[in-house]
Amino acid sequence: MKPTPHTSEKKSLKDRLSAIVLCGPMTAWSLLFIVVPIVILAVMSFMTKGALGVIVPKFTLANYKALGDKVYLNVIVQSLIIAGWTTGLTILLGYPFATAMARMRARTSGVMMVLLMIPMWVSGLVIIYSFVILLNHSGIINTFLMHIGLIKSPKSMLYTNFSVICGMLYMFLPFAVLPMYSSIEKLDHNLVEASQDLGASPVRTFFKVTLPLTSPGIFAAVILTFIPCVGYYMVTDMLGGGTSMLIGNLIDRQFTIARNWPFGAALSMVLAIVIFAMVGIYTKLGGNLDDLG
């Protein structure tokens, strides 16, 4: 016959108290201000909009169906195009930059990182306003290009997708460099040497060894750029000049101008679901959620 186990192996009262003091606040906060609001958002996306922005508690799929509207589809496509370009450019510039940092001495690379971040600490938004001065018709870049004879008449660069992408790139490049830098820095250099030792050319080594091994950092950078890009409506407001509109702008409008909260909620839900899918793929590929912080 087995003796009964001691009840004391279970938690003592003081253990429970310590658990409540430590875990309680965060659990409560998360439930109240993260979980419940998301649930409300989800419910709201199925509600009906009444007159003057009143919400009628009547189930409808209309908010989601409206996304099929050509106007809104355009916005979604444009969002994806701009986010895609920004992300691509971020990786193309950020990856070699991170590689260069990884080859520097620790202190020098620290300085580089700080130099990259300083504009963000100052205020990215204020600084990207400078693009208006740089890019406008009679702006510095047009003047310069005409002066050296590269172009005859000023190119319109401001209030185009180009200026929006410039602004987005400016806002997100610094944050994207960090995860790429840490995965490049962690890369075991012996593997690169082993590959070259075994006769692979540097280019082949890069594509067969370096790139696959640093891909978690690249993917983290993609997520860190793509996600905020889709929702960040300030840049388009400032540098888009009303010509480009992103999902973020559309959502903002539903709450500030159109007062169509259920539709705004549905848009937010779609955005969140797409992002969750991306993050899901990222973790499936072995990415660490903490690297997105």
Partner 1 sequence: MKQRENRRASDVFLKIVVAVVMIFVYAPVAVMVVYSFNNSRANMIWLGFTTQYYKQLFQDQYLWSIFGTTLIIAAVATAIGTVVGTLGAVGFRKHQFFGKELIHYSMYFPIVIPEIVLGVALLLFFDRMGIALGMPTIIIGNATLILPYVYITVNARLVGMDPSIEEASYDLGADRGYTFFHVILPAIMPGVLSGAFMSFSLVLDELIVTSFLASARITTLPIKVYSMVKKGVTPEINALSTIILFVCLGCVAAWLIVGGIKQKREREARERALNVD
Partner 2 sequence: MNEKQPIVQLVDVQKFYGDNHVVKNCNLDIMPGEFLTLLGPSGCGKTTTLRMISGFEKPTYGEVRLGGQNVDQIPPFKRNVNTVFQNYALFPNMNVADNVAYGLKVRKRPKSEIKKRVTEMLKLVQLEGFEKRKIAQMSGGQKQRVAIARALINEPKVLLLDEPLGALDRKLRKQMQIELKQLQKKLGITFVFVTHDQEEALTMSDRIAVINEGEIQQLDTPQKIYDEPATRFVADFIGESNIIDAVAMGEDGDFLRVGTENGQAISLMADSNIQTGDAVSVAVRPQNMQFSLEPVDHFSIKGVVSDHIFMGHMIKMIVKLNDGSTVRINRFGEDELAPVGQVINLYWEPGKSRTFRNKSWFKTNSVVDLQEAVDEANATHF
- Positions in 79-118 near partner 2 (CB under 8 A): none
Q: Which residue has the tokens 């889709």?
A: 230
- Which range touches partner 2 (CB under 8 A), out of 1-9, 86-94, 109-117, 152-160? 1-9
Whether the Cβ atoms of residue 67 and residue 270 lie closer than 8 Å to each other: yes
The nearer residue to partner 1, 167 or 188, going by C-beta atoms, is 167
Binding to partner 1 in span 80-119, by CB under 8 A:
93-94, 96-97, 99-100, 103, 107, 111-112, 114-116, 118-119
Closest by Cα among 67, 22, 25 to 45: 67
The nearer residue to partner 1, 70 or 242, going by C-beta atoms, is 242
Q: Closest approach of Cβ 249 to partner 2, in Å?
A: 49
Residue 21 sits in the site that holds partner 2 (CB under 8 A): no
**Residue 193 to residues 100, 133, 205, 210, 239, Cα–Cα distance (Å):** 18, 47, 9, 11, 46
Whether the Cβ atoms of residue 244 and residue 74 lie closer than 8 Å to each other: no
Q: Which does 19 bind (CB under 5 to 8 A by kind): partner 2, partner 1, none?
A: partner 1
Q: Closest approach of Cβ 33 to partner 1, in Å?
A: 5
Residue 35 sits in the site that holds partner 1 (CB under 8 A): yes
Residue 275 sits in the site that holds partner 1 (CB under 8 A): yes
| CB atoms near residue 63 (< 10 Å) | 24
Structure tokens at 88: 């691509």
Q: Identify the residue among 1, 9, 121, 152 touching partner 2 (CB under 8 A).
A: 9
| CB-neighbour burial class of residue 247 (10 A; exposed 0-12, middle 13-18, buried 19+) | buried
Binding to partner 1 in span 162-221, by CB under 8 A:
169-170, 173-174, 196, 202
Structure tokens at 276: 């969750």
Residue 8 sits in the site that holds partner 2 (CB under 8 A): yes
Whether the Cβ atoms of residue 218 and residue 96 lie closer than 8 Å to each other: no
